[in-house]
Amino acid sequence: RGMTPSDPGHSDAALAARAVKGDRSAFNRIVQRHQEPLYRFIRRYVGDADEAYDLLQDTFVSAWQALGRYDPTRPAATWLRRIALNKCRDWGRRRTVRRFFYGAASLEAADVASIANVEDSADEAAMVRLDRAIALLPSQLKEPLLLTAFEGLSQEDAGQALGITAKAVETRVYRARKLLAEALAADSVDNDTRGS
- The torsion angles phi and psi of 74, rounded to 5 degrees, stand at -105, 150
Please tell me the predicted confidence (pLDDT) of residue 118.
38
The CA-based angle 177-33-121, given to 5 degrees, is 50
Rounded to whole angstroms, the Cα distance separating 172 from 160 reads 14
Within 10 angstroms of residue 174's Cβ, the number of other Cβ atoms is: 13
Rounded to whole angstroms, the Cα distance separating 163 from 5 reads 28
Total H helices, total E strands in the chain: 9, 0
First to last CA, the chain: 59
Please tell me the predicted confidence (pLDDT) of residue 181.
83
**CB contact set of 136 (below 8 Å; sequence gap of 6+):** 47, 183
Please tell me the predicted confidence (pLDDT) of residue 194.
61
Query: What is the mean pLDDT, run by run of 10 residues, along the chain of 196 residues?
Result: 52 92 92 94 90 94 92 90 90 68 42 38 65 87 87 86 92 90 76 60
pTM for this model (two decimals): 0.59
Residue 171's H or E segment, with its range, is helix 166-195
